[in-house]
Amino acid sequence: MHHRRVSLTDQVGEKGRYETPPTSDLYRLLWINPGSSSHMDEVRPGIYIGDLYAAKDKPMLQALNISHVLNAAHGKYNVNTGASYYRGTNIEYLGVEAFDMPNFDISPFFHSAAKFIKNAVSTPGGKVLVHCAMGLSRSSTLVLAYLMMEEKMTLVEAITAVAPHRNICPNTGFLEQLRTLDTQLQNRHSAI
């Protein structure tokens, strides 16, 4: 008796429609070919994911022509940079006060973060650094949400696009919120 192993990139239901895979399959997909674990990596043209060291290295950001910084760990007890930190650099800043805990609801920030990233990459020569403390969970969650909302990718496609370039790992709660977003977006697309 042979069991045919279904590829994650072919996640389709009975009617030939894409269906959001279970969390365990998504984690497997994240671990297949993890990318770099540098302080910052370009995961899509003009989109970088990084950690607090990258965020605080203003000379490096300027050398790379980073025009926008999205801090997914904004706030006093997180990576406390803020717009004033980048004063004099022409860097546009957006702070999202998110905590890397599975019970934290990061989904209310999906829209504003996606809009900010889209604005950055739509600007001629624009480049955005999306960072948190380690560049693993909060920042990658917001980049995946952007790819799903603005570039019309499924969650599987978004993970497949980002993971080979950077080692990312949204926490279980964030992955569930991305699964919910995936389902909502797929339902919206199939209704059109």
Catalytically annotated residues: 132
Query: Per the structure block, which two tokens stand in for 35?
Result: 């990318």
Q: How far apart are CA 74 and CA 100, in angstroms?
A: 12
d(CA 140, CA 144): 6
The DSSP element (H or E) to which 40 belongs, if any, is: strand 40-44
Q: How far apart are CA 176 and CA 155, in angstroms?
A: 11
Task: Give the CA radius of gyration of the chain.
Answer: 17
